[in-house]
Amino acid sequence: MQPDAALIPFPGPGPGWTPGIDGLVDCLLGDRPPRVWSLLVTIFGDLARDGSARLGGQLINRLTDRMRLKPEAVRVALHRLRKDSWIESERAGRQSLYRLTPSGRTQSRAASPLIYARTAPAELAWLVLADRTEMPEGAASGIVWILPHAGLTTYPPRDPGHLHLPLPADTHVPGWIRTRVCDENLVRMAHEFEARLVRLDDLCGSRPRFGPIETAMLRVLLVHGWRRIALKAPTLPDHVFPETWRGGSCRSRVTALLDRLPRPHPDDLVADITA
Amino acid sequence: MQPDAALIPFPGPGPGWTPGIDGLVDCLLGDRPPRVWSLLVTIFGDLARDGSARLGGQLINRLTDRMRLKPEAVRVALHRLRKDSWIESERAGRQSLYRLTPSGRTQSRAASPLIYARTAPAELAWLVLADRTEMPEGAASGIVWILPHAGLTTYPPRDPGHLHLPLPADTHVPGWIRTRVCDENLVRMAHEFEARLVRLDDLCGSRPRFGPIETAMLRVLLVHGWRRIALKAPTLPDHVFPETWRGGSCRSRVTALLDRLPRPHPDDLVADITA
């Protein structure tokens, strides 16, 4: 399946036009605003993952406002994240400064390898054949069960009661196995996200530079869009996914775009607001 | 499991003694006389497989008498084999001459590769994974089903709806798979037959030569004992059988013994009776 750029409404009036940041944000956002709580997790995870990094309420509002989130909803979500011990806050003059708690930081870092990886999270696949129906225990063991007694995993043999056979990349994997590895909803999400990335790449090409806040907005939306897919996809090599799976293309497009949009320093973000 | 020669009662009085043919026949026969009908199929299959080869009633009685089969039972079985069009007969003076019908010969020849093969009937094993429960159709397709959706076969991929993965000889195959490849009854039959072959090998060592009829009797009993195992065992390589499977050892011992006991010409058998 080729990325279908026609899926995404073109945000500008025609060729030769230089898109504003709103057009780029719209391109990544699509029709629906993101969930506030989840987007804040992405903001802290991408922009403030270091122990000392703090994000002011003003900066958070500036970022979320452009993403069509209401200030009240953001306030409620920040309160909830504090109650869940994901973030903590302190007063600094007229505004609050927020940062990840050690626990929030640990969980953000745990998800990072899957989100920021430049390569597929798995290269090898093994077929596992079990005598008993092992589904309940399966999730914890990293096995994606495709039949009551059979599953796929990227991890090497552990249980001597299982038959483990490697699945080389040139194995003919029938469609019914591929669709059980990854459901069609996730396949469609990746397909649509790829189309946004293609369009964004085009639009960014005519915008050579971005300010710190613009950069932060684009990074957050890129990471947020990809995170929803990358964390749901099973840890298996692309060659066992459905033929129409575009996750690999999304991954390389996201990392290439993030390379063009280096993470701004929190101080530069503050300076950009007050400028 | 080592071959257990103590299983078989020693047929002679002590070391240095040269066993008579009865001792050798008893060693192969064991406790129970073979089934008459089945043994006659072996006799014709081994001694008279060529189109022109005929076996006289007198020769058949001489062979079967030493194998503790009653002449009436042999007569009934010969009659039944004629009715089933496996053999046909003609009169020659005072006795009947029997030979395989074209159909009997075809069926005897079809079984030959499995019985007389010097090597395992299969070297490669594939795991087959099917979406539907395919057991009924499985037998015809050469797949040994070990789970409702999973089986082993030596034949290369045919159905694109199946996942086929090769099982190299160094694969760790769990016990529960091996016991479904070959049940414990067949494993025990092979174990016991191997013990008889070990003992026969010892006994034959002290008997450098056998006459035509003696040779024929030993051949028939060797082929008959091995046939019951070889035709029941699935066409799969030894490395997926139970660890205690001695079929491979039986096969090489049987072929080595048959090499020492070349098939006698029917004329020499007749000459041996009248001698």
On the question of pLDDT at A74 being above 90, the answer is yes
Residue B275 and residue B268: Cα distance in Å, rounded? 10
Interface list for chain A against chain B, based on CB atoms closer than 8 Å: 127, 129, 131, 147-150, 157, 160-167, 171-174, 176-177
**Cβ pairs bridging A and B (under 8 Å):** 61
Residue A219's closest CA among A67, A7, A101, A19? A67
* CATH architecture of the region B5-120+178-274: Orthogonal Bundle (1.10)
Q: Give the model confidence (pLDDT) of B25-76 as tens digits.
A: 888 988 778 899 999 999 999 999 887 889 999 999 999 998 989 999 999 9
Q: Among B126, B165, B179, B180, pick the best mutation site for testing chain A contact (most A Cβ within 10 A).
A: B165
Specify the 3-state DSSP secondary structure of B217: helix
CA B147 to chain A, closest CA, distance in angstroms equals 8
- Using the beta-carbon criterion (under 8 Å), do A129 and B131 form an inter-chain contact? no
Tokens found for residue B219: 């051949």
On the question of pLDDT at A3 being above 70, the answer is no
Q: Among A124, A128, A129, pick the best mutation site for testing chain B contact (most B Cβ within 10 A).
A: A129
CA B259 to chain A, closest CA, distance in angstroms equals 39
The pLDDT score that the predictor gives to residue B204 is 82
Cβ of B215: how many Cβ atoms within 10 Å?
Answer: 21
Regarding predicted confidence, which is higher, B78 or B203?
B78
CB < 8 Å to A173, chain B: 163
Residues in chain A: 275
- Using the beta-carbon criterion (under 8 Å), do B160 and A174 form an inter-chain contact? yes
| Residue B70: DSSP 8-state | -
Residue B111 and residue A126: Cα distance in Å, rounded? 38
CA A173 to chain B, closest CA, distance in angstroms equals 6
DSSP string, A158-209: --TTSEEEE--TT----HHHHHHHS-HHHHHHHHHHHHHHHHHHHHHHT---
Q: How confident is the model at residue B138 (pLDDT cuts 50, 70, 90)?
A: very low
Q: Is residue A213 within 8 Å of residue A273, measured between CB atoms?
A: yes
CA dihedral angle for residue B66, residue B69, residue B71, residue B76, rounded to 10 degrees: -140
Tokens found for residue B135: 């057991």
Of A131, A148, A173, the CB nearest to B176: A131
Tokens found for residue A56: 């002011």
On the question of pLDDT at B172 being above 80, the answer is yes
The pLDDT > 70 percentage for chain B reads: 89
Specify the 3-state DSSP secondary structure of B112: helix
Tokens found for residue A270: 């503050």
CB < 8 Å to B176, chain A: 131, 161
CB < 8 Å to B129, chain A: 127, 147, 150, 177
- Using the beta-carbon criterion (under 8 Å), do B174 and A157 form an inter-chain contact? no
User: Taking residues A143-148, what's their average pLDDT?
Assistant: 90
Residue A229 and residue A253: Cα distance in Å, rounded? 14
CA dihedral angle for residue B75, residue B80, residue B83, residue B88, rounded to 10 degrees: -50
The pLDDT score that the predictor gives to residue B7 is 47
The pLDDT score that the predictor gives to residue B19 is 63
Spell out the residues 6+ positions from residue A140 whose beta carbon is closer than 8 angstroms to its own.
none
Q: How confident is the model at residue A12 (pLDDT cuts 50, 70, 90)?
A: very low
Residue A42's closest CA among A199, A226, A186? A226
Dihedral sign (CA A179, A181, A185, A190):
negative
* Least confident stretch, A12-16, A82-86, B56-60, B121-125: A12-16
On the question of pLDDT at B8 being above 80, the answer is no
Residue A214 and residue A275: Cα distance in Å, rounded? 13
CB < 8 Å to B177, chain A: 129, 163
Residue A59's closest CA among A73, A47, A45? A47
CA B229 to chain A, closest CA, distance in angstroms equals 27
The pLDDT score that the predictor gives to residue A203 is 85
Q: Among A165, A239, A243, pick the best mutation site for testing chain B contact (most B Cβ within 10 A).
A: A165
Distances (CA, A) of A183 to A113, A238, A248, B56: 22, 14, 16, 72
- A-chain residue closest to B172, CA distance: A163
CA A127 to chain B, closest CA, distance in angstroms equals 9
Spell out the residues 6+ positions from residue A164 whose beta carbon is closer than 8 angstroms to its own.
A126, A127, A128, A156, A157, B172
Specify the 3-state DSSP secondary structure of B261: coil
CA A136 to chain B, closest CA, distance in angstroms equals 19
Residue B140 and residue B137: Cα distance in Å, rounded? 6
- Using the beta-carbon criterion (under 8 Å), do A165 and B127 form an inter-chain contact? yes
Q: Is residue B28 within 8 Å of residue B87, measured between CB atoms?
A: no
CB < 8 Å to A127, chain B: 127, 129, 163, 165
- Using the beta-carbon criterion (under 8 Å), do B162 and A174 form an inter-chain contact? yes
The helix or strand, by DSSP H or E, that contains position B90, with its residue range, turns out to be strand B87-92
What residues does each domain of chain A span? 5-120+178-274, 126-166
The pLDDT score that the predictor gives to residue A138 is 47
- Using the beta-carbon criterion (under 8 Å), do B131 and A161 form an inter-chain contact? no
On the question of pLDDT at A248 being above 60, the answer is yes
The pLDDT score that the predictor gives to residue A135 is 55
The pLDDT score that the predictor gives to residue A229 is 95
